[in-house]
Structure 1
């Protein structure tokens, strides 16, 4: 405790000596110069920002990352201009006067540059709260380094420690581990997104293999970043390996379904049985695959509902993939006509009606066959092909049926309907049921 008080007193003494150095009488004009440069940077930024913003609106076809980067720089334009103005001023004053006459300006310039660099670098962190925490911590540490207080602050943080079993951890070690892990994970996230964008743009890789490659790249980069961060702060990975093995055994028994879905997802990506954009039917669910996840597959139906189907169900269940090997789908429509209609004419008219419907393929012409003679109708089957099942199946069937109705009515072809015939045998009588009389109203 005495060592801690001694170190704290030394830090306070250094801060007091530094404040006396900074606020000497000849440093007043340096503060005035810094304020004037900041005011100039503010006025120029207000003048340039709307013009640059309007210019960016006209940049069509630029990659999103480039536009996003320019918007980030535009938001920090005042600080960028201030840094660009103060450092030439510092260099000129160092050449024309004594170094002490530009000492305070050098500190202000270094602080401005450090704050700008930390602000731009921390944009790689996606979480807003974590980004602000890292940014403020970076600003504090950069300020201490520029003011020459980093060694004293490090010693003070190393004295504040606690024991975890046989391991002694100081506040400095914890902060160092947090900074290194955050930096490595942010860099891994940036590389993963850049790699994913490059892989998704490649036309030589199938959609399912693109998903597998992106997931593998993310796991690899995040794993390397995590273990490299632990190694950098001196954590013994031997014990961690034993602990991870024990945790793996426990998870294998407790999370069998989750592991099964994960393994099923990898199998789906490897065998390419389904891929994003395919139209599938699973039970009563019919829709197209929106995304392949590590645990589930997202299927969007025609009514806008999104079903999250576990990967295991796609492996163990019967799935109809309407666009697995090709996009061609054949649809069948059963109908019947009366016995008074010429079947040759009916077949010809049915084919012509189907040909006139959009989405029905002409290069694979429709066909119509008689399937049987029913009780009151001649039964037919009309078969036609489409190549866009994502456009829906019920609507195209409805359009073809409507075309059959219009064509048959225009050509005198009638549709039969169930009829019943009643015959009276000789000697039988037919009596009509009389309606019951209403009861008289007894109320006066």
Structure 2
């Protein structure tokens, strides 16, 4: 076959398939004009109207019944909501199957053939609606749903071989690999189904891992990430293998792409590796309170590229994993939740320091968040110009509750205790000595001197 004949072969094949489909469509339309086929269409229309009326009557009652259900698992409620939305279609499928069963018993098979086809189509469409709800992505869900509807319709009508031949006729050869529309459609459906299965397994297994108290939070994140990579990677490569894609060429291509990405995405790779190191060494985990530079907050989640840190003012910082590996990080709750805080204050020289220390310790111990089994301590740290300087140290076990607020509560308790016990908090005072022969002039006197005439 010469190149011209080769280029025209797919076009001739398409024309031949189109003529065959047109002939079968003509026969189908002629068949609809027969009386026993026409009344089957009217029966199907009557069943649809009946399902519409029943759905309008039953939907409010089903909705009230669903509102009374409490404590049910979330997945059960989602199924019930989906069934409530598709109640008309469910009723149509049930009614038409009952009618088909009755007609097969009381009349010839040809008198219910068209109703049987409609019932099979409606059942398949309804099943596809429920099955595709497992797909979270809206675009992928729509693509799989309409693609499955088209293929099931062709299967029930007996047109799968013609559709397969038509899609396979549009092909592109790259070396020894032949890529056709049929191969692409197979790959899309297969990968979509496998990814849905992988996502379901990942979600259910992740929930069990998170609910296991014996696994640390950091190891939970690591196990979930590893599980997702394994499941989705297996689904992708196994799906390609099922449709006949040569993975050897894909491996060579991925190696070449990997070399190019290694130079252009060094930071991204560094953050990925740093994230794995963080999960393995358990240096930080979700819920830890950390300080990194001026950022202070608790870790919300550990991502593949960054760590989410939520501060007290509601800001969420996305800190790259590399910064947590190479920078200095203060983890307030790494080995335990106990945190010691220090506050400084001064008292007058006239006040007994033993009494000041005792009152300060009692005041700090009375604050709610201060730990009693790690009692506060107070020490003199110096003799200042205006006061005796003290340091008060106390422990808390909930740094996630904030540090500034607990310091403020302790300062307020000190203020109240000092006021009750007549302990003064001094402030710097300055003395002005007048030299002999100097005069003191106020601001009004200086202004009047400036306004005097010459």
Matches within 5 A, 1:433-444: 433=441, 434-436=445-447, 437-439=449-451
Contact 2:288 2:299 in 1 (8 A): yes
Taking the aligned partners of 1:297 and 1:268, their CA distance within structure 2 comes to: 10
**CA displacement at 1:166 relative to structure 2:** 4.7
Alignment of 1:107-256 (within 5 A): 107-256=117-266
2:441 pairs with 1:430 = no
Which of the numbers 269, 275, 282 marks the counterpart of 1:259?
A: 269
Aligned residues: 439
* Equivalent residue, structure 2, for 1:90: 100
Which of the numbers 49, 56, 66 marks the counterpart of 1:39? Answer: 49
Taking the aligned partners of 2:399 and 2:418, their CA distance within structure 1 comes to: 27
Contact 2:363 2:414 in 1 (8 A): yes
Q: How much is the aligned-residue C-alpha RMSD, in angstroms?
A: 1.8
Helix, strand or coil: the match of 2:446? coil
- CA distance, structure 2, for counterparts of residue 261 and residue 367 of structure 1: 43
Distance in 2, matches of 1:323 and 1:422, equals 52
CA contact (8 A) 2:32 2:38 kept: no
1:200-234 deviation per Cα after TM superposition (whole angstroms, max 9, x unaligned): 12222111111111111111111111111211221
For normalisation by structure 1, the TM-score amounts to 0.94
Is the 8 Å Cα contact of residues 120 and 156 (structure 2) preserved in structure 1? yes
| Alignment check: 8 A CA contact 1:347 1:369 kept | yes
The answer to whether structure 1 residue 67 and structure 2 residue 74 are counterparts is no
Asked if 2 retains the 8 angstrom alpha-carbon contact of 1:296 and 1:310, the reply is: yes
Structure 2 length as normaliser, TM-score? Answer: 0.92
Deviates more, 1:49-58 or 1:332-341: 49-58
CA–CA distance in 2 between the matches of 1:180 and 1:365? Answer: 65
Which deviations, in whole Å up to 9, do the C-alpha atoms of 1:246-287 show, x marking residues without a partner?
A: 222222222111111111111111111111111011111100
Larger CA deviation: 328-337 vs 39-48: 39-48
Deviates more, 1:272-281 or 1:372-381: 372-381
Distance 2:274 2:334 in 1: 18
Partner of 2:393: 383
Give the drift of 1:348: 1.4
Q: Distance in 1 between matches of 2:46 and 2:224?
A: 51
Q: Distance in 1 between matches of 2:61 and 2:397?
A: 49
SS for the counterpart of 1:368 is strand
Say if 1:118 and 1:138, in contact at 8 Å, map to a contact too.
Answer: yes
Q: Report the more deviating stretch, 270-279 or 87-96.
A: 87-96
Partners of 1:157 and 1:241 lie apart in 2 by 27
In structure 1, the gaps of 5 or more residues are: none
Verify: 1:275 aligned to 2:285, yes or no.
Answer: yes
Secondary structure of 1:400's match? helix
